[in-house]
Amino acid sequence: MNHAKPLNLIIEGALLASENPLSLQDIANLFDENKPSKNEIKKAIDALNNNYKNHSFEIINVASGFRMQVKKGYDNWISKLNKQSSTRYSKAFLETLVIIAYKQPVTRGDIEEIRGVAVNPQIIRNLIEFEWIKVVGHKETPGKPELLATTKKFLDYFNLKSLSDLPPPSELELEA
């Protein structure tokens, strides 16, 4: 592999410039010829993270690919930059999202049965609008209710590579 610039610098620049996580294939597609292998890309990312050991940022692997982000422990300072982005969600919103994440695929009726109260349709609409959940089918019962499940964007937002990375339900604190 002969690139005009070192592979790790190209990857670093791409991750800094991208608004979304980049998959190994996305990174390989940056090259017209002499595409690096997935293994070479992984090694370059590992080398970059090794270089970042004493920095406040790192490259993490989430469901949609790799992205750069500030390391945990610096959020106290960084959060002051984005005051309006520290959105607070209602307890009903968070409970609904947690039920979908842990019990998916579920219907609105399933969520209502678990919560013991009706689900505000706006909560479901907001979760779909955020692209954190989607309709994945219909339950074979009268009325054929929609089945809801989480998306890759949900995993990415919460820094998860897969649903198996969710904490045990006993560790959750649903504070709005």
Q: What tens digit of pLDDT does each residue of 131-159 get?
A: 999 999 999 999 999 999 999 999 999 98
Q: What phi, psi does 77 have (nearest 5°)? A: -85, -45
Output DSSP code: residue 164.
G
Residue 105's alpha-carbon distances to 87, 89, 144, in angstroms, are: 26, 22, 14
pLDDT value of residue 4: 55
Taking alpha carbons only, the member of 113, 160, 110, 91 closest to residue 132 is: 160
Output DSSP code: residue 22.
B
Output DSSP code: residue 134.
E
Q: Which domains does the chain have, with CATH numbers?
A: 7-78 (1.10.10.10), 87-171 (1.10.10.10)
Q: What is the rounded distance in angstroms from the CA atom of residue 116 to the CA atom of residue 164?
A: 26
pLDDT value of residue 32: 83
3-state secondary structure at position 19: coil
69 forms beta bridges with 58
Q: What tens digit of pLDDT does each residue of 6-21 get?
A: 999 999 999 999 999 9
Q: What tens digit of pLDDT does each residue of 44-76 get?
A: 999 999 999 999 999 999 999 999 999 988 877
3-state secondary structure at position 173: coil
3-state secondary structure at position 135: strand
What is the pTM for the complete model shown?
0.72
- The model's confidence at residue 33, banded by pLDDT at 50, 70 and 90, is confident
Spell out a b/e string for 119-141, using b for 16 or more CB atoms within 10 Å of the CB, else e: beeebbebbeeeebbbeeeeeee
